[in-house]
Amino acid sequence: MQAPSVGGVMLPRGNGQTVRLSRGASLTDFAEKINANPASLVAVMLNLGEMVTATQSVSDETLQLLADEMNYNVEIVSPEEEDRELLESFDIEFGENEGGEEMLVARPPVVTVMGHVDHGKTRLLDAIRKTNVIAGEAGGITQHIGAYQVSTEVNDEERRITFIDTPGHEAFTAMRARGAKSTDIAILVVAANDGVMPQTIEALNHAKAADVPIVVAVNKIDVEGADPTKVRGQLTEYGLVAEEYGGDTMFVDISAKQGLHIDDLLEAVVLTADASLDLRANAEQDAQGIAIEAHLDRGRGAVATVLVQRGTLRVGDTMVAGDAYGRVRAMLDDNGNALEEAGPATPVLVLGLTNVPGAGDNFLVVDEDRTARQIAEKRAARERNAAFAKRTRRVSLEDLDKVLKAGQVQQLNLIIKGDASGSVEALESSLLQLDVGEEVDLRVLHRGVGAVTETDIDLATGSDAIVIGFNVRADGRATQMAEREGVDVRYYSVIYQVIEEIEAALKGMLKPEYEEVELGTAEIREVFRSSKLGNIAGVLIRSGEVKRNTKARLVRDGKVIAENLNIEGLRRFKDDVTEIREGFEGGINLGSYNDIKIDDVIATYEMREKPRG
């Protein structure tokens, strides 16, 4: 068969072979795999009506489209699969306990607190932490490291529970989006005076999607008007039926503020874990787990809180966490105590990494420094590609022209700086999920942990971006520079506030849409001829009202015979008026349009801006 050509470039053709490509691959990557010239792939895409450059990351659909066209079968490898393969190439298996059943020991459950804003998640996390410090471990300086462990007594036995200390389902979803399963059990906080709210449902759905059992904390029972029974009733509709009603979800009435029934809640968590989960891990293998939170510390360098999921992490171990690696120099628990080792379900602050891993990145201990470095470097390269693919939205060639001409695509560029990688990522992923239609594009040009710097302002200046500082400020010189360059730097400490404002900004950028609203109809009863004004219609207003200077169309026998007319003159008896209402008679002058007959209908309308939903 003759290979087709476009503009003299021979198009590659396959025989249905399978090509494996990583998500976010470019046409050049594809070309390399099939031994073709990247330019020829660009030509194929052009032929398909899309303009794509050779080195740009493209979407799964584009890769698929291209493969179909050239008769290849493409297999797109997800980042998780790819990572598994990467680790396998080093003979490392991630995510499985080594050895058989006999190697497994019980481990504490890991809990995330979720629920609607202001229902008391933060307060509850504080209350739990204060009242249930593990005996003998108090005394240090309490630190928020992103997670903590407490102990509680259940059936005369000391049981430990690990809490992820960043409340809200944003963090939970951000981690899950990266394929990390951090949480065994979710506590769903519902304020008894407020009841089930939108974010309650969202949180519940996230937990269900992740197959995580839920314990419901009915909070604020100290407040007047609290109605815990109502909360139980409401949640029944969402499939959470309280045990006392014959269901299998534990509901505990609490007051985070007064510290009421906190122990009952912890007991419910332990009982739920015992009833529905098999929480065991091999404590002896090389440690593996996930990074929960990380930031750059002026004095200590990269500081990461990791949750050990399997094995035991020790000072001196060589570890990789996401694209960071290093030797564990020191470990601290959430009370600031130095630890030598940390077993399954223990959160620890780790010092000694080369840079800051992302929240939800997996970590693992390897034998050699060199292996750690190689894994980290490969991941960093992949991250760069994937991030790029995620942030660029394609406009097809066909649309591009139209769209640019009409000035339809508006773009809001953002630079996000935050105090910790967890919050920055949660923020970014929430923002990228904002849906305000096709016409507006949100791009995160840069994100990072730390203060807003001159480099950020520089980037913002060059690309008209807005800078978001989440729990961070600009350093002195950056502030001056931002003022000088007129860069908008906004500071926030609550995620949903950022989201609300950005969403509003995006909506504001949308071009107004207009819709036609009918104002009134007038039936022509008589036609007067005026030498000065032309034909005047003597009318009876049949519906609504007819106003001067509004648009009109003329309808005869149900057919529109003239459009875009204007009510130029409007009279009642001898007086000029601005409007005539239904049921009244008057005279209408349609300006230079004179083709009017008795029984014609003049329908008037106006264009109104449609509110954006």
Q: Which residues are annotated as a binding site?
A: 115-122, 165-169, 219-222
In the complex with ligand GDP, which residue's Cβ is closer, 231 or 596? 231
- Say if residues 472 and 452 touch (Cβ distance below 8 Å): yes
Q: Which residue is nearest to ligand GDP (CB)?
A: 120
**409 lines the binding site for ligand GDP (CB under 6 A):** no
Which residues have CB under 8 Å from 335's CB, separation 6+? 133, 137, 138, 139, 140, 141, 142, 143
**417 lines the binding site for ligand GDP (CB under 6 A):** no
Compute the residue count for the chain.
Answer: 613
**167 lines the binding site for ligand GDP (CB under 6 A):** yes
CB of 149 to ligand GDP, least distance (A): 20
Within 87-126, the residues that bind ligand GDP by CB under 6 A are 115, 117-123
CB of 174 to ligand GDP, least distance (A): 17
CB of 162 to ligand GDP, least distance (A): 19
CB of 68 to ligand GDP, least distance (A): 48
CA distance 77 to 84: 11
In the complex with ligand GDP, which residue's Cβ is closer, 119 or 379? 119
In the complex with ligand GDP, which residue's Cβ is closer, 83 or 419? 419
**322 lines the binding site for ligand GDP (CB under 6 A):** no
CA distance 183 to 110: 5
In the complex with ligand GDP, which residue's Cβ is closer, 256 or 420? 256
**178 lines the binding site for ligand GDP (CB under 6 A):** no
In the complex with ligand GDP, which residue's Cβ is closer, 25 or 217? 217
CB of 515 to ligand GDP, least distance (A): 39
Residue in the block written with tokens 């031994």? 35
CB of 192 to ligand GDP, least distance (A): 9
**255 lines the binding site for ligand GDP (CB under 6 A):** yes
CB of 128 to ligand GDP, least distance (A): 12
Site string for ligand GDP, 18-47 (x = CB under 6 A): ------------------------------
- Say if residues 289 and 310 touch (Cβ distance below 8 Å): yes
Q: Which amino acid, residue 228?
A: P
**499 lines the binding site for ligand GDP (CB under 6 A):** no
- Say if residues 580 and 546 touch (Cβ distance below 8 Å): yes
In the complex with ligand GDP, which residue's Cβ is closer, 69 or 118? 118
Q: What are residue 205's phi and psi, to 5 degrees?
A: -65, -40
CA distance 608 to 134: 64
In the complex with ligand GDP, which residue's Cβ is closer, 116 or 447? 116
How many CB atoms are closer than 10 A to CB 495? 19
How many residues belong to the site for ligand GDP (CB under 6 A)?
Answer: 16
Binding site membership for GTP: which residues?
A: 115-122, 165-169, 219-222
CA distance 572 to 569: 10
**256 lines the binding site for ligand GDP (CB under 6 A):** yes
Residue 318: half-sphere exposure toward Cβ, Cα within 13 Å: 11
Give which of 431, 429, 422, 483 is closest to 452, Cα–Cα. Answer: 483
CB of 611 to ligand GDP, least distance (A): 30
In the complex with ligand GDP, which residue's Cβ is closer, 254 or 349? 254
Q: Which amino acid, residue 586?
A: G
In terms of Cβ atoms closer than 10 Å to its own Cβ (0-12, 13-18, 19+), residue 24 is buried
Rounded to 5, what percent of the chain is helix, strand, coil?
A: 30, 35, 35
In the complex with ligand GDP, which residue's Cβ is closer, 125 or 375? 125
- Say if residues 112 and 187 touch (Cβ distance below 8 Å): yes
How many CB atoms are closer than 10 A to CB 225? 8
Within 340-359, the residues that bind ligand GDP by CB under 6 A are none
CB of 219 to ligand GDP, least distance (A): 5
Site string for ligand GDP, 186-225 (x = CB under 6 A): ---------------------------------xx-xx--
**59 lines the binding site for ligand GDP (CB under 6 A):** no
**Residue 297 structure tokens:** 């510390």
| H-helix or E-strand spanning residue 271 | helix 262-276
CA distance 54 to 201: 44
* Interaction site with ligand GDP (CB under 6 A): 115, 117-123, 167, 219-220, 222-223, 255-257
